[in-house]
Chains A and B, each alone.
Chain A
Amino acid sequence: MEGKRNVRICCLCNERRASLKRPKTLQQICTECFYLAFENEIHQIILSNRLFSRGDRVAIGASGGKDSTVLAYVLSKLNRVHDYGLHLFLLSVDEGITGYRDDSLETVHRNQIQYGLPLKIVSYKDLYGWTMDEIVKLIGLKNNCTFCGVFRRQALDRGAAFLKVDKLVTGHNADDIAETILLNILRGDIARLSRCSSIVTGEDGPIPRCKPFKYTYEKEIVMYAYFKKLDYFSTECIYSPNAYRGFAREFIKDLERIRPRAILDIIKSGENFRISTTTKMHEQGTCERCGYISSQWVLIDDQSSSGDGGGSTRCCSSAWWMFTVTVPEALRSISHVCSGGGQNQEKNKEKGGSLHGCIHGKEDEEMKVVFIDKGKRFSAVQSH
């Protein structure tokens, strides 16, 4: 039995008291050596993946939570120490969730002062004319996360365009990415499997997004924030979380306890999957009408109790399915419907009746659509 009074010495400097065990390497190290190792690894990831170029304007997607807070801190430090020559900004989305986002935005406001970074907040209210509070009142708690995610993604793009940035960085960590890889395997979503494994995405879109924490363990991010006493916000969103994702998260955490390397190994698996060329891929497309990039849609059978999953189709694909669109009243004012034809109806029926449709806001927002097919009601929202 080990007692805590057997003080362990840092295996890197052989001087100071060890303060933590690194999950990646199982090394026992002191806080000073940890800071250096943590920051240096992220620096190496940035260099080896050529994430930035000198003079780049870079927006940090800032939620006030642990990951983006640590990212803002570390990125501004690396920019200073290694002279990257980046112009950094904090970019936050205000979904309009009372008691959650208003509190976390206060944290972002403090970060703005603490790190001396300019802050831009884009709100659902300004962009879309409503808040998540209003939407939840309207559509209820089911699927509101997927719904909200769609809009957050686009709100970040809008904010990034406003700031005229070259890149958007997000705080997704190794645990998040392992979880998403696992989820995409569980859903058979091959297209998203390869996309979610890359450190940079959307290079062909308006603003590339990158994840400097792709190989950084959540445990280390939280330990870093704790030892550095960084100010972050940690309350769950008051609207219901995604249960399927929750299970995947729990599974990853259980694996990590038995074998911490499992997280990096899942990421490695995701990166090295070779998809057979005969596999049909739903790729990201561009809407013919509005030109906006549209990724896959998640179809939800409104009458079944499972909140997640279902087949996925692509917005504005060449094949159309006839559908009736009903839009919640609050959204009606900002919607128009992409015209749909029926030339491939029979083909689609054979595939199990996949539905295609697309609806856009006046200013080219993707919207939630409700399909009525043979008296059955489906909703589709563009997924994360």
Chain B
Amino acid sequence: MQLTIEFGGGLELLCDSKKIHHVNVEFEQQNEEDKLTMRELLSWVQTNLIKERPEMFIKGDTVRPGVLVLVNDCDWELSGQLNTSLEEKDVVVFISTLHGG
């Protein structure tokens, strides 16, 4: 699945200071209703994009409090957070609010 993943607010520093990543996420569909969700994407991002200090990005099974997530410019709190399902060409943005003011 082709996705665009963006990091902002200092999170880009965890992945070689690269803000925008065009990625292809392999996803094994067990049956037809199976969809890639943010839950799977988070662990994929952690494995494949985050190069250092993963604790700045993940806490427990979700993003660290203070990291904002938007899927197609929509707050993921409106779409079910980890259960948000993803589709081809979606844009997922992670922004840290924790850096300087």
Interface residues, chain A, with chain B CB atoms under 8 Å away: 1-6, 8, 17-21, 28, 63, 65-68, 104, 171-173, 175-176, 218-219, 221-223, 226-227, 233-237, 249-250, 253-254, 256-257
Please, which residue of chain A has its CB at the minimum distance from the CB of B72?
Answer: A4
Residues of A near B77 (CB, < 8 A) are 20-21
Is A8 a contact partner of B10 (Cβ separation < 8 A)? Answer: no
Cβ contact within 8 Å between B66 and A234: no
Q: Does B13 contact A (CB under 8 A)?
A: yes
B70 to chain A: closest CB distance in Å?
7
Interface positions of B from 40 to 96, Cβ below 8 Å from A: 64-66, 68, 70-80, 83-87, 93, 95-96
- If A18-B74, A222-B9 are given as contacts, then 10 extra A-B residue pairs at C-beta distance below 8 Å, sorted by A number, are A1-B80, A3-B79, A3-B84, A5-B87, A20-B77, A20-B78, A227-B73, A235-B13, A236-B10, A249-B66
User: In chain B, what residue has the closest Cβ to A18?
Assistant: B78
Chain B contact surface mostly:
loop
Q: Which residue of A lies closest to B35 (CB)?
A: A3
B98 interface contact, C-beta 8 A = yes
Q: How distant is the Cα of A8 from the Cα of B80 in the complex, in angstroms? A: 12
Tell me the bound Cα distance from A20 to B101 in angstroms. Answer: 22
A87 to B75 Cα, complex, angstroms: 36
Could you tell me the distance between the alpha carbons of A19 and B68 in the complex, rounded to whole angstroms?
13
Tell me which residues across on chain A come within 8 A of B68, comparing CB atoms: 219, 222-223, 226
Which residues of chain A come closer than 8 Å to B93, judged between CB atoms?
A: 226
- 26 examples of A-B residue contacts, CB within 8 angstroms: A3-B84, A6-B79, A8-B78, A17-B74, A18-B78, A19-B75, A20-B74, A20-B75, A21-B75, A21-B78, A65-B100, A66-B97, A66-B99, A68-B101, A171-B101, A222-B68, A222-B95, A222-B97, A226-B8, A226-B70, A234-B8, A235-B10, A236-B99, A249-B66, A253-B65, A254-B65
